[in-house]
Amino acid sequence: MAGFQPKFIITPAIAAALMRIEAAREAIKHLPITASVIASLRETARLYSTHYSTMIEGNRLTQEQVFKVVQGRQHFPGRERDEREVLGYYAAMSRVEQFAAAGAPITQTQIKLLHALVMAGGSNKVKPTPFRYGQNVIRDARTRSIVYMPPEAEDVPKLMTELVDWIDASGAQELPCPIRAGVAHYQFATIHPYFDGNGRTARLLTTLILHLGGYDLKGIYSLEEYYARNLSGYYAALTVGSSPNYYGGRAESDITKWVDYFCDGVAESFESVKKRAQQAADLGAGDDSRLLRRLDPRQRKALELFRRSDAITSRDVAQLFTISPRTARHLLGDWVRRGFVVVIELAKKSRRYALASEFGSLVR
């Protein structure tokens, strides 16, 4: 196959990490956990991912502050940019779940939309972001020396096309999914297709590939936490080649070191989830995951409202998703038609909705 051809070997360490990943994945698949517990763990993982991924980029909000910002409970004066970064990444993660649920192959448009959400500060009304039109560089924060010079802007569209083609190519599909995800992360960071937001978008692309490959673990893991605990290791593993210039050999470099680092991180993250999931299962929780899989990401998020109240309104939905009241009413109408909710008060101005009895176990 022409185009992007990554160079690496599957060392004994990488093979061992892949075995750990599969063992944890298989164990979690069969653990009996209620949908409500899964939903809680998933939301916690999403918040952790948001915190750690933005922290890697220098975000100053603490984990607790991130949770409050995402839940709309508090604002922090002087941290407005940090808040926008958090809300943007959280919104993009929700879109990753939607893309994964659809099951379609990854496209450049999807990647551009994820980047747009990352940069939009929580708004869902975005258009795909065009790739950069000029050169950018990565500098050492202390010395200001050039750490990496990405490819020129005119080469970015071709390189991104080659990357997306590789992700879906038969040769790449034969590789274990964690390796494909790790290679895609590396190559996206190498191309650096945007002036800003490249690291966050690379990590989202990684998550999307894992989810599409069946490595979603019910959505309850945070790989970003692994990166953030050892940032120097993260950047060191990404740094390969003898030249800081893309055209100085980086594209042809052996990336075994990065693949090793990445697979070990997936294994560690999955084993951590296995431990938490086992603790939840030991409490006697039954598994409602099949029922939960019937719901789309917005419906699963709406379960939070029904855990607080037996009935909800379009205003509740509008506030939860930061959408207009009219859009919320249309969304609820669609949910009624699909059997997710039922109308319990018909008055147009005070119409209230209850969760359909079929899904009652998801909020108990």
Reported pTM: 0.77
Q: Do 124 and 91 touch, CB atoms closer than 8 A? A: yes
Rounded Cα distance, 271 and 254, in Å = 28
Q: Which CATH number fits domain 12-282: 3.40.718.10, 3.30.70.260, 1.10.3290.10, 3.30.2130.30?
A: 1.10.3290.10
Residue 37 confidence (pLDDT): 67
Q: Where are the domains of the chain?
A: 12-282, 294-363
Per CATH, 12-282 and 294-363 having the same topology is answered: no
Rounded Cα distance, 202 and 204, in Å = 5
Rounded Cα distance, 43 and 67, in Å = 10
Helix (H, G, I), strand (E, B) or coil at 245: strand
Residue 34 confidence (pLDDT): 67
Q: Do 220 and 41 touch, CB atoms closer than 8 A? A: yes
Q: Which CATH number fits domain 294-363: 3.10.20.30, 1.10.1760.20, 1.10.10.10, 3.40.50.2020?
A: 1.10.10.10
Helix (H, G, I), strand (E, B) or coil at 244: coil
Residue 36 confidence (pLDDT): 64
Rounded Cα distance, 123 and 320, in Å = 13
Which parts of the chain sit beneath pLDDT 70? 1-2, 32-37, 241-242, 280-281, 283-290, 348-349, 364
The strands making up 341-345's β-sheet, listed across from edge to edge, are 311-312, 352-355, 341-345
**Helical H runs in the chain?**
12-29, 35-56, 63-70, 80-102, 108-119, 156-168, 170-173, 177-191, 198-212, 223-229, 231-238, 256-282, 289-293, 297-308, 314-321, 325-337
